[in-house]
Amino acid sequence: MTTAIEKSWPAVPPRAFTSDGTALGVVSVADSTGFKVKQQVVISAAGLPDLTVKIMRFISPTQFYVGPTNPKAGQGLTQRTDISSYTVLGGAFVYAQEQPKVTIKPEDIIQAVYRQEPGTTIGVELDDEWGNPINEDNPLPVVVVTGGGGSPTIPSSWDEIDLSYDTNDNLTEVQYIKAAAVEQTLDLTYDTDGNLTKVTASE
């Protein structure tokens, strides 16, 4: 598990291309976890110079657009870099070095989370790591634990799931609620590196 670094994005190890780069700057990898919009990344392949570019936009969990590190005035995140020379056959891969996080103005944060009329509230939404809302089609992953006798620890039905976190934002407790009563509680334990090591059912 990568330890969080205050005010910096941690390095992302090399990820091999799963498809050839495109003239429109599309990078395809098996998993884009760890990469961020506006992060500078390096694209490399045999016989070609290393190319430093900026992530402009994510298409999916496995694809994103890249563009120049200093785009033309007024083009923001819309400019693209031709990376069609970087191919799977050439062993193309992409990685990121540790670097300072992009600073976001407070007013931009407010604008991003403010819900326009008729809501007129500061919105809070539970998303996955790629920004997709948690819903019936994209459910929150849960840990299924079976006891020694083979019976499931998680109840077969519930009305809601309540989650508790510690001061490090680690999920520490999961409660399954049915008809306003707690059906089952799971306790989660972490090691000193923040890795989940144990899930137990409360007695």
pLDDT tens by residue, 157-183: 788 888 888 877 778 888 888 888 888
Does residue 118 have a cis peptide bond before it, meaning omega lies within 30 degrees of 0?
Answer: yes
pLDDT of residue 150: 47
The domain segmentation of the chain, as residue ranges, is 8-100, 142-203
Residue 35 CA to residue 41 CA, distance in Å, equals: 8
CATH architecture of the domain with range 8-100: Beta Barrel (2.40)
pLDDT band of 40, cuts 50, 70, 90: very high
**Can you list the alpha helix ranges (DSSP code H) found in the chain?**
106-113
Q: How far apart are CA 1 and CA 64, in angstroms?
A: 23
Q: Distance of alpha carbon 87 from its chain centroid, rounded?
A: 25
The pLDDT tens digits for 111-158 are 877 877 776 777 677 787 777 788 888 887 766 554 444 455 677 778
